[in-house]
């Protein structure tokens, strides 16, 4: 009987092993599928969180950009006002430089006139001193003539002759 029971045993073995293998394959497949599904779900959640964070960062960056653009516009407006003021001041400076140049030219003319007047005054002072010596000498000579001192008169007139000639006075 043993021989007979063996073939039957071999016949039953595939009926037990195949469903067991199939059940194992289904369990392993289900476990692998579930694991893949959970991994995919976790990865999707991480990606969704990263996308939310990125959108939040983009919103902050847009806000920062809007603030920076507003500050830039304000700085540009200030710069343009400053450039307008600079243009005005440069125009004023150019006008002042023109006035200064004209004033310096007039000052040079006045200095030349003053130098000429000073030289003329010095010449006139010299002439006046010479004329003063001449007149004093003539007065002294007249006094000498009035008292009858003719030799003193001749000596006085000889002494003042050069002074009178330098002033253009004729004796």
Q: What is the largest CA-CA distance in the chain?
A: 207
| Average confidence score pLDDT of the chain | 88
Mean pLDDT of 147-153: 90
Domain that holds residue 92: 2-167
Residue 100 — very low, low, confident or very high, per pLDDT cuts 50/70/90? very high
Mean pLDDT of 60-67: 95
Q: Lowest-pLDDT range, 23-27, 81-85, 167-171? A: 167-171
Mean pLDDT of 24-39: 90
pLDDT in tens, 116-149: 999 999 988 988 888 898 899 899 989 999 999 8
Domains identified in the chain, total number:
1
CA separation (Å) from 123 to 46, 130, 169, 171? 109, 10, 16, 22
pTM of this prediction exceeds 0.75: no
Task: Find tokens 């059940």 and name the residue.
Answer: 23
At 100, list the tokens: 């200064």
86-117 burial, b at 16+ Cβ within 10 Å, e below that, comes to eeeeeeeeeeeeeeeeeeeeeeeeeeeeeeee
Residue 54 — very low, low, confident or very high, per pLDDT cuts 50/70/90? very high
Residues 133 and 163 sit within 8 Å (Cβ to Cβ): yes
Q: What are phi and psi of 168, to 5 degrees?
A: 90, 10
Mean pLDDT of 68-87: 95
Is pLDDT above 50 for 1? no
């Amino acid at each position: 009987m043993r021989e007979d029971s063996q073939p039957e045993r071999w016949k039953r073995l595939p009926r037990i092993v195949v469903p067991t293998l199939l059940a194992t394959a289904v369990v392993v497949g289900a476990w692998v599928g579930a694991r893949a599904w959970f991994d995919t779900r976790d990865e999707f959640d991480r990606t969704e969180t990263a996308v939310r964070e990125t959108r939040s960062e983009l919103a902050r960056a847009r806000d920062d950009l809007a603030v920076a653009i507003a500050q830039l516009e304000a700085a540009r407006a200030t710069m343009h006002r400053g450039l307008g003021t600079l243009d005005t001041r440069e125009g004023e400076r150019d006008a002042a430089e023109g006035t200064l140049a004209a004033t310096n030219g007039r000052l040079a003319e006045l200095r030349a006139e003053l130098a000429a007047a000073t030289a003329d005054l010095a010449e006139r002072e010299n002439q006046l001193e010479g004329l003063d010596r001449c007149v004093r000498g003539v007065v002294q000579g007249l006094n000498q003539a009035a008292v009858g001192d003719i030799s003193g008169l001749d000596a006085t007139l000889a002494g003042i002759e050069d002074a009178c000639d330098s002033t253009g006075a004729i004796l």
